Amino acid sequence: MNVRLCITVLFGLLASISVSAQETVVASNVLGPEGPLVVDGKLYFVAWESNQLVRMDDGKQTVINGDSKCSQNGLALTKRNTFLLACDSEPGAIIETDLQGKELRRWTADADGKPMAGGVNDIVVTSNDGAYATLTGPGGDQPPVVGKVLYLAPGAKQWRVVADFLNHANGIAVSPDQQTLYVAETFGNTVKKFKINEDGSLGDRANFVFLNLLVDDAVKSMALGPDSMKVDHAGNLYVAQWKGGKVLKISPNGQLLHVFKVTAGDGTTNVAFDEGEKNIYVTVVNDTRDKKYPGSVVRLPND
C-alpha cells in the first residue's frame, strides 16, 4: 500500500471514529423504540413491541406503563403535566397517564363514535393545551389512503377528525407560532403542512417537503418516507427517516440544513431535545428487516 493510500485510509478511519464518538447509546435492547421525550431532565420513551412506557433512572430502564393492548408509540406532555400516549394497536386508542404511568383516561373512538382504525401513531400538544393526533390507517404493501388527523380542543372530551385521506399518517408537529401543523405522510414520501384555524380546524393543505428531493438514498422502499418528527424553538423540523438511518433538519421554508447520520441502525423513528436543545435523542431500530424491531435510544450533539 502506498503512502498516499495509507494516509487516505487513516483519515477515513479517524472520520468514522469521530462520527461514532459523537453518538452515545443511552438505552439498549428496546423492542420497537419510539416516542422519546425529556421531562424535568429525565428521558422517557416507548417500546411498541414490548408494549411499554419507559423512564430512564440513573442509566437504568424503569417500565412505568405496560399495557399489552396499547402497542405504545407516540408520547406528548400536556400543560397539566400528564402524558398523552398513542396506542398503535388495532383498533387504536389514546391514553392519558400521570408522570408515573398510571392511566387516567382512555379514548377508543372519535367524536362520531368511530373506532380509531389503523392505530394512533403520534401526538402533539399545542400551546393552549389542545392536541392533534395521527391515525395511520391499515398497513401492507399497497395500503389504502385513509390516514387521518384528530383534534382534541382545550377542555373538550372527544377527539374529532380535522383532516383525512393521508397516505400513512405518521409524525406530527406544530410550529412555534402555532400557525402551522406538520404531518408526515410516510408512504407519500412527504411532509404535509396545514394552516391552523382559530377553532383548531385545518386549512390550506399543501406539500411542505418531499424527502427524496432533499437526500439521495440507495434504499428503494415505500416506507422510506418520513417517520416521526419534532420542531425546535426556531421552527426547524427534525424528521426521522425510517429505513434511512438518519434525521433531517429542515428549515421553516423547506431547506435542508443538516443530516444527522445514525450509526446504531437504519430504522430511525423519532427525535427529542434535551434542555436547551443542546442534544437530540433519537430512537432507532437496529435493522428494519428484523420484525422484532430491537433497537436503542442514542444521543447526538445538536449541530
Backbone φ and ψ for 144, nearest 5 degrees, come out as -65, 150
Question: What pLDDT, on the 0 to 100 scale, is given for residue 122?
Answer: 98
Residue 160 belongs to some domain of the structure? yes
Question: What pLDDT, on the 0 to 100 scale, is given for residue 9?
Answer: 36
Question: What pLDDT, on the 0 to 100 scale, is given for residue 192?
Answer: 98
Residue 137 belongs to some domain of the structure? yes
Question: What pLDDT, on the 0 to 100 scale, is given for residue 140?
Answer: 64
**Among 300, 211, 203, 195, which Cα is nearest to 250's?**
211
DSSP letter at 92 equals: B
Residue 294 belongs to some domain of the structure? yes
Question: What pLDDT, on the 0 to 100 scale, is given for residue 144?
Answer: 82
Amino acid at 137: G
Residue 172 belongs to some domain of the structure? yes
Residue 19 belongs to some domain of the structure? no
Question: What pLDDT, on the 0 to 100 scale, is given for residue 252?
Answer: 97
Residue 13 belongs to some domain of the structure? no
The Cα-based distances of 64 to 72, 152, 157 in angstroms read 12, 25, 25
Structural domain count, the chain: 1
Write out the chain's pLDDT in tens, 303 residues.
444 434 333 333 333 333 345 999 999 999 999 999 999 999 999 999 999 999 999 999 999 999 999 999 999 999 999 999 999 998 899 999 999 999 999 999 999 999 998 999 999 999 999 999 999 987 666 678 889 999 999 999 999 999 999 999 999 999 999 999 999 999 889 999 999 999 999 999 999 999 999 998 878 887 788 999 999 999 999 999 999 999 999 999 999 999 999 999 999 999 999 999 999 999 999 999 999 999 999 999 998
Note whether 45 and 35 are within 8 A (CB): yes
Residue 16 belongs to some domain of the structure? no
Which stretches of 58-159 are assigned E, i.e. beta strand?
60-65, 72-77, 83-87, 93-97, 103-107, 120-125, 131-135, 147-152
Task: Give the angle 180-209-165 at the CA atoms, nearest 5°.
Answer: 70
Question: What pLDDT, on the 0 to 100 scale, is given for residue 216?
Answer: 87
Residue 14 belongs to some domain of the structure? no
Question: What CATH code is carried by the domain that includes residue 180?
Answer: 2.120.10.30
Task: Find the domain containing 145 and state its range.
Answer: 27-301
